[in-house]
Chains A and B, each alone.
Chain A
Amino acid sequence: MKTYEETTRSILERAETEKAQLRKKNRVIRTVAAFASVAIIAAASVFGIRAFMKSAPHYTTDYKAEYKDSFKVSWAEAPGTIDECIERAQIVAEIKILGLATVYTPVLDTSDRGELKFLPESIYVGEIVKEFKNETKQDEYVYILRFGSPEASATGSHVLMPGERMVMFLKQTDYDRPVDEYPIYYNSFSCPFQELYIYEYDGKEYAVPYTMQNFMPRNMATVSADIASEINSISGLYRWYDDVYEYDAVKSYITDAVNK
């Protein structure tokens, strides 16, 4: 085993080497990405991603008023300028970034009554890596966002760590549904986006929506009775989830992401 001094020296030397390699790679990527980024961000704006995010029914008027500046703060604090964010994201992810989207993630508090909350820290800035149009439903899109770096993941109650992989679906049409149609727990699951954590369990990799994690069978015994009764009624979650998977392209994208 190395001594502490040897380890430190090795770390600093490797860091210098990797930084030099990143700078070299960055120069190439920047050249290729410069034109594409501008065009793609413009395209993303056309699709109104930011607009429909802000108009999400979950994002109540009062909440908007109270936290209207959070969006700007998160945007400003997390990635720096848009160009800088894209530049860094590409270095980290080595994937083609289509643009950026801001996502409001509901925080489901399972410690007491499972109250659904929207908090400023649950605002994410992620990279749009894929856009799919539903051929069978007019004006319906599914966006896949990727959060692969701490810079791009902004803040959150579940801050992503370097190396962690997460894919988030955004399904545009669900924003049209009145929020009051759903009971509170179901509401959290039927929100128009889902994060997929790709994680390992029992030797296999699974892509599991974040909001499902606390309700997976292995945790059923730990939730209170009233929440458990609600769980019995969330089959809609799976249907919703399956609904997203109706898109073959999405399926294959996720399969690739899991196997990558």
Chain B
Amino acid sequence: MDNGAGSYRRFREDGDAEGMAELVREYRDGLILYLDTFVRDIPAAEELAEDVFVLLAVKKPVYKAKSSFKTWLYAIGRNTALDHLRKARRRGEIPLENCGELHADGETLEESFIREERRIAVHRAMRSLPADQRQIIWLMYFEKLTASDAARIMKRSPHAAETLAYRARKALKQKLTEEGFEYEDL
């Protein structure tokens, strides 16, 4: 079910490069779009996603199966993104929050990963939400994670994650309505 664990084990224990290739194929695109909820910059999110895989390849942290492999991987991704934002702020770079437009690569990625047009509309609308709301929507709505798994990634209690998800959905619905969409799945 969570084949990533097997691929990672083969890479970690046997040095099987194909294991890493499988992880990249399975998780890269989703991870990029998740990281994009932090940085709102697809090329930067792509680099961060690569950093996450490099971290796995260099430090080879132990996956202890206390959550799904994806949950574990995304939690690492979150830490990587937060570190990136801290460093960017220290360097005095312009806050990435100001970058709201979707890069052309992002559009391609949306089309291949999300596929459905109406869900793509939701994805675009959620770029106007605050960062934590973007993250919870991505994790629960697009990645279909449970509130508990999303909470684990976001370092919140399940209750807090559910509350955040409720607020995010409400804000997103309002945004979509303003843009003339009706979306009952949210």
Contacts and interface: CB of A to CB of B under 8 A. Distances in A.
A163 B83 contact: yes
A18 B58 contact: yes
Contacts of A151: 61-62
Nearest to B152: A158
Given A161-B76, A162-B55, A11 B160 contact: no
Given A4-B21, A222-B163, A10 B50 contact: yes
Contacts of B79: 161-164
B91 interface: no
Interface residues of B, number: 40
A45 interface: no
A7 B24 CA distance: 7
Contacts of B42: 1
Given A8-B24, A11-B50, A161-B76, A110 B58 contact: no
B105 interface: yes
Given A1-B46, A1-B109, A11-B57, A218 B17 contact: no
Interface in B30-58: 42, 46, 50, 53-55, 57-58
Interface string A1-22: 1101101101110110011001
A159 B66 contact: yes
A221 B163 contact: yes
B75 A4 contact: no
Contacts of B17: 8, 12
A159 B20 contact: no
B157 A219 contact: yes
Contacts of A149: 59, 61
B155 A162 contact: no
Interface string B1-42: 000000000000000010011001100100000000000001
A7 to B, nearest CB: 5
Contacts of B108: 1
Interface stretch (A50-58, A67-75, A178-186, A197-205): A197-205
A150 interface: yes
> How many residues of A sit at the interface, in one of the four size bands?
35 or more
Contact of A11 (B54, B95, B157, B163): B54
Interface in A197-228: 197, 199-200, 203, 205, 213-214, 218-219, 221-223
A37 interface: no
Contacts of B61: 149-151, 161-162
Given A1-B109, A163-B55, A110 B157 contact: yes
Given A11-B54, A15-B58, A162-B59, 13 more contacts: A8-B20, A11-B57, A14-B57, A110-B157, A159-B64, A159-B66, A161-B76, A162-B61, A162-B76, A163-B55, A197-B155, A205-B86, A222-B159
19 contacts: A1-B42, A4-B25, A7-B53, A8-B17, A8-B20, A8-B21, A10-B50, A11-B20, A14-B50, A15-B57, A15-B58, A92-B59, A149-B59, A150-B61, A155-B64, A158-B155, A163-B76, A163-B80, A222-B159
Q: Which 5 A-B pairs have the closest CB atoms?
A: A15-B57, A163-B79, A222-B159, A150-B61, A1-B105
Interface of A: 1-2, 4-5, 7-8, 10-12, 14-15, 18-19, 22, 92, 110-111, 149-151, 155, 158-159, 161-164, 197, 199-200, 203, 205, 213-214, 218-219, 221-223
